[in-house]
């Protein structure tokens, strides 16, 4: 039985979901300014829901531990990021910048999924069915069991889903969907939280896997309250620069698999295409015989990626020289430049330094430090590094070269692509065995530069 409807006015932060009975200029929870907006909520006297019978606590040894059944999406790179495939009843949130390829990936994946597993319901709140049809025709999407629905009402979406019982459901995007139980605008904190919660109940109750597409804010995080990311089972982010054709799909949360795996795609006219060997693609346009260019190996989950680092050092005409980076941390470059000046004796205080990771890849791990200092020194001294040389290692403030994780995996990937020489920390030499690869162990930045040039 449902009780009498009551109305309640609250001020909700549109960034974190904090609620207050009165308006505040600054959110006490996330410290954001002017983010509290008035929302009219409807509350029932009694909470409705599905009650489950009381179950006694069980010892963990008696809890069933059957492995989750995986459903392949038809795109191996997508399956890799999901942890091996799609789990029945899972709720997956995909975020990324506008136009990066979220809808394209899901349209291609659901096309393969519908041909292999059965009917799929694709709900779009931003495009008409005709627009999706035109985009799908360009990518060769023609599955007869892929059903398109242009709708933003949550109640109508749930009605169609319960009637069809599809094998998978896609909602593009969650910020456009609204429920009539709330009077706030679509995309508000209350609407996003309520609609996502209702879709989660559908997924868990019926076993239908649900994909949600989420808009992102200017700082790159998914728009709406953080509770949205806590609510879902898996959160995937699409990364990439609009000026580059490469896209990286990364898992930042996954209840059914590892969060270390990435999927690499290339955007073409016909949609997104899988990149089976991303290292070869990233190095395909590498210039040879020029100073400031080195190759490093970064580890993304269990997959090693070889990428090119490019540095340009030139005399500055400014009072404060510039330190510009693309793909690496700006503060990390400043730290390594200070090490080169203090420990090696290079005069860089009057030089503009530009550092770029070719291909639009972002390097976050310290294993690229040795490549960064070598690239800067190579450009400053105008000395080239042999094109078949790989550099690995973390650099400390004392100028020492520290060991890295899984060096053998990185070296083997380089050997496959024709690299014959690797400069790495001396502490990692015992962990690496690679045929046809000359391994040079170094203990300091100064020793590295002597071996590299």
Among residues 413, 447, 307, which one has the least CA distance to residue 365? Answer: 307
Q: Are 265 and 275 in contact (CB under 8 A)?
A: yes
173: preceding bond cis by omega (within 30 degrees): yes
129 phi, psi to nearest 5 deg: -60, -35
Work out the burial of residue 245: count CB atoms within 10 Å of its CB; fewer than 13 is exposed, 13-18 middle, 19 or more buried: middle
What are the residues whose beta carbons fall under 8 Å from the beta carbon of 240, sequence distance 6 or more?
A: 100, 101, 246, 247, 248, 267, 360
Among residues 398, 383, 315, 311, which one has the least CA distance to residue 349? Answer: 315
CA trace torsion 365, 367, 372, 378 (10° rounding)? -160
Complete DSSP assignment for 38-59: EEEEEEESS-------------
- β-strand 234-239 against 91-96: which pairing, if any? parallel
The conformation of residue 253, written as its DSSP 8-state character, comes to: E
Q: Are 35 and 13 in contact (CB under 8 A)?
A: yes
CA atoms of 368 and 308, how far apart (whole Å): 10
For residue 156, the Cα-to-chain-centroid distance in whole angstroms is: 31
Count of positions (residues) in the chain: 453
Annotated ligand binding at 99? The verdict is: yes
Q: Are 295 and 285 in contact (CB under 8 A)?
A: no
Q: Greatest CA span in the chain, whole angstroms?
A: 80
Annotated ligand binding at 103? The verdict is: yes
Among residues 250, 231, 120, which one has the least CA distance to residue 174? Answer: 231
Annotated ligand binding at 172? The verdict is: no
Annotated ligand binding at 97? The verdict is: yes
For residue 17, the Cα-to-chain-centroid distance in whole angstroms is: 23
CA distances from 233 to 54, 196, 259 (A): 25, 12, 12
Work out the burial of residue 124: count CB atoms within 10 Å of its CB; fewer than 13 is exposed, 13-18 middle, 19 or more buried: buried
Annotated ligand binding at 101? The verdict is: yes
262 phi, psi to nearest 5 deg: -130, 160
Number of helices (H), then strands (E), belonging to the chain: the values are: 11, 23
Q: Are 234 and 93 in contact (CB under 8 A)?
A: yes
Q: Which residues are annotated as a binding site for ATP?
A: 96-103
Q: Which residues are annotated as a binding site?
A: 96-103
């Amino acid at each position: 039985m449902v009780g009498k409807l009551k109305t309640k006015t609250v001020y909700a932060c549109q960034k974190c979901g904090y609620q207050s009975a009165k308006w505040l200029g600054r959110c006490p929870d996330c410290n954001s300014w002017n983010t509290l907006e008035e929302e009219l909520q409807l509350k029932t006297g009694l909470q409705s829901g599905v009650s489950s019978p009381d179950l006694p606590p069980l010892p963990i040894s008696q809890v069933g531990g059957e492995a989750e059944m995986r459903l392949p999406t038809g795109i191996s790179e997508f399956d890799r990021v999901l942890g091996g495939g799609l789990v029945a009843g899972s709720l997956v949130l995909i975020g990324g910048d506008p136009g990066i390829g979220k809808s394209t990936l899901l349209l291609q994946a659901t096309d393969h999924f519908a041909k292999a597993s059965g009917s799929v319901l694709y709900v779009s709140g931003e495009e008409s069915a005709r627009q999706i049809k035109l985009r799908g025709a360009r990518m060769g999407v023609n599955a007869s069991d892929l059903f398109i629905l242009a709708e933003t009402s949550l109640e109508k979406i749930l009605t169609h889903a319960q009637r069809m019982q599809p094998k998978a459901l896609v909602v593009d995007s969650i910020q456009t969907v609204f429920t009539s139980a709330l009077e706030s605008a679509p995309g508000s904190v209350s609407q996003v939280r309520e609609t996502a919660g209702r879709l989660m109940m559908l997924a868990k109750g019926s076993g239908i896997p649900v994909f949600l597409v989420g808009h992102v804010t200017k700082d790159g995080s998914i728009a709406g309250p953080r509770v949205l990311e806590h609510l879902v089972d898996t959160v995937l982010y699409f990364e990439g620069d609009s000026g580059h054709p490469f896209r990286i799909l990364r898992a930042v949360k996954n209840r059914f698999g590892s969060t270390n795996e990435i999927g690499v795609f290339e955007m073409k006219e016909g949609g997104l295409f899988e990149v089976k060997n991303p290292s070869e693609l990233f190095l395909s346009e590498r210039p040879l015989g020029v100073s400031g260019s080195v190759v490093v190996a970064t580890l993304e989950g269990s997959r090693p990626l070889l990428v090119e680092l490019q540095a340009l050092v030139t005399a500055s005409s400014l009072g404060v020289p510039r330190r510009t980076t693309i793909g690496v941390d700006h503060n990390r470059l400043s730290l390594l430049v200070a090490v080169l000046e203090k420990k090696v004796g290079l005069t860089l205080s009057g030089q503009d330094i530009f550092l770029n990771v070719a291909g639009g890849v972002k390097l976050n791990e310290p294993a690229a430090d040795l490549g960064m200092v070598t690239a800067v020194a190579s450009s400053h001294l105008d000395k080239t590094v042999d094109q078949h040389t790989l550099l690995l290692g973390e650099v400390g403030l004392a100028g020492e070269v520290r060991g890295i994780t899984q060096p053998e995996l990185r070296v083997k990937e380089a050997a496959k692509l024709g690299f014959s020489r690797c400069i790495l920390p001396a502490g990692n030499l015992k962990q690496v065995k690679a045929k046809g690869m000359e391994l040079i162990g170094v203990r300091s930045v100064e020793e590295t530069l002597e071996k590299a040039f």
